[in-house]
Structure 1
Amino acid sequence: MKKKWNFLWIVLIILIWIVAYSIVTNPYNQAKRDKSFLGAENASVTIISFVDYSNNDSASSEVVMKNLRNKYEGKIKFIYKYYNFTNVSYYSAMAAECAASQKKFEKMHDKLFENYYNITYASIFVFSSEVYLAKEEFRLCMENELYGQSVLKDYELAKKLKISVLPTVFINGLKVEGYRSSAIYSKIIDEEL
């Protein structure tokens, strides 16, 4: 009888470990961690948006996302992840994270999307001045690629999530690919609230 209980405890522990491991290693759960966000930290709706600051479709979609941030202020948490096709994509994503370290993620994020068609490594430094970042701190952050691994980690995560179209948005885990209108996103969000 005692052996039977020992066996059941071992099986239970193994099952708990398997469930915990699957939760921790789930790519969507990984996407919800370790990143700058906009909106309400403990919101019931989380939107994770994979973007490229030099991509026209991402820039067009950001206009919709900004409207949603205003419409659902205090009700949604927006997390931005980076999908990088080029060096410009990589450096602009890193610039957004360097700005986040100075508590100016949203300002740099908006500035990069406003200039998506004209981003170069040099222009990123001009943008940093325009959003009033500490010049030397930003320069060191960029030159030392302090957030390079984080940006590359987002790209690897995007591959795990099988992202092939930009923008790709997850609303509480529901994958929405490509540009969509505010009405489509609002319908999904309203169902989640």
Structure 2
Amino acid sequence: MKRLHKHLIVAAVLVAGFAAALGSYLLLAPDGRGSKGLDVQPAPEAMPVRESSHRLTTPEKSELTIVEFLDFECESCGAYYPVVEKLRGEYGDRVTFVARYFPMPGHRNGELAARTAEAAARQGKFEEMYAKLFTTQKQWGESQDWKQGVFRGYAAQLGLDMDQFDAALADPEVAGRVQDDQRDGLALGVQGTPTFFVDGERITNPESYEAFKALIDARLDG
């Protein structure tokens, strides 16, 4: 099946800014090449963030919550990654940043990458695997080869117990945890990655770091 995804990546993200269409991926039917796709139903009562959601920052007094529905194999998510990192470095004491899974059906290893991150979370290493998957994305993304061996290597590098990691990766509950995020995303109208919510409101993806920072400042000052 021919992909309709158009990857519009700006080389110098923080200097040149984002193209307006960055991240505008359309949901497609699974392509049958190993990606499990979005074979889930929307949640009956969707929530942008849940108690079980992975929080990248936990300020003592949170003034704002930013949720990103992401796909580790999505190039646009990879382009936003350093922006989000810089923003949470600046606002982490005031803003709660949340990462939620939304692997896209056209990506061979997107769902596997999400399960890899969740398996790492079982050992308290979600944030470390989250960073590892994004900083190495160019090495494994957009491949039609199955990358479980590569991801196991990352787990070993992070010092995870490999028996526990392998068991978690194969655990239906881990796959179900990924699908729980997808269900919420679908019910909230997420149609591609990345999709951001600010205090429960879906926003148009900011086109640059400066635009994202201005949006946060406006909400904090409002």
Question: TM range, normalised to the smaller chain?
Answer: 0.7 to 0.9
Q: Which residue of 1 aligns with 2:4?
A: none
**Structure with the higher fraction of residues in helix conformation:** 1
- Corresponding residue number in structure 2 for 1:116: 137
Residue 194 (structure 2) aligns with: 167
User: What SS does structure 2 have at the residue aligned with 1:153?
Assistant: helix
1:99-178 mapped onto 2 (5 Å cutoff) = 99-117=120-138, 118-119=140-141, 120-178=147-205
Residues in 2 aligned to 1:58 and 1:144: alpha-carbon distance in whole angstroms: 26
> 2:125, 2:207 → 1: CA distance?
27
Distance 1:179 1:133, change over 3 A: farther
One-letter amino acid of the counterpart of residue 163, structure 2: E
1:11 matched to which residue of 2? none
Deviation, structure 1 residue 26? 5.1
Q: What per-residue deviation string (whole Å, max 9, x for no partner) do you get for residues 65-87 of structure 1?
A: 00011111211111111111245
Q: Relative contact order (alpha carbons < 8 A, sep ≥ 6): 1 or 2 greater?
A: 2
| Counterpart mapping for 1:1-193 below 5 A | 27=46, 29=47, 31-40=49-58, 42-86=61-105, 88-117=109-138, 118-119=140-141, 120-178=147-205, 180-193=207-220
Which amino acid in the other structure matches residue 101 of structure 1? Answer: R
Q: CA deviation digits over 1:128-187, x for unaligned, max 9?
A: 111221211111111224311111111121111111231111111232244632212211
Amino acid at match of 1:48: V
4+ long deviations beyond 6 Å: none
**Which structure has the larger Rg?**
1
TM-score (norm 1): 0.79
User: 1:183, 1:137 → 2: CA distance?
Assistant: 42
Identity %, equivalent residues: 22
Q: What is the alpha-carbon distance in structure 2 between the residues aligned to residue 178 and residue 129 of structure 1?
A: 35
1:52 alignment partner AA: D
When residues 26 and 57 of structure 1 are mapped into structure 2, their CA distance, relative to the original with a 3 A threshold, is same
Letter in 1 for 2:54: S
> Structure 1 residues 189 and 125, CA, compared in 2 at 3 Å: closer, same or farther?
same
- RMSD over aligned CA atoms reads 1.9
Q: Which moved more, 1:98-107 or 1:50-59?
A: 98-107
Unpaired runs of 5+ residues, structure 1, are: 1-24
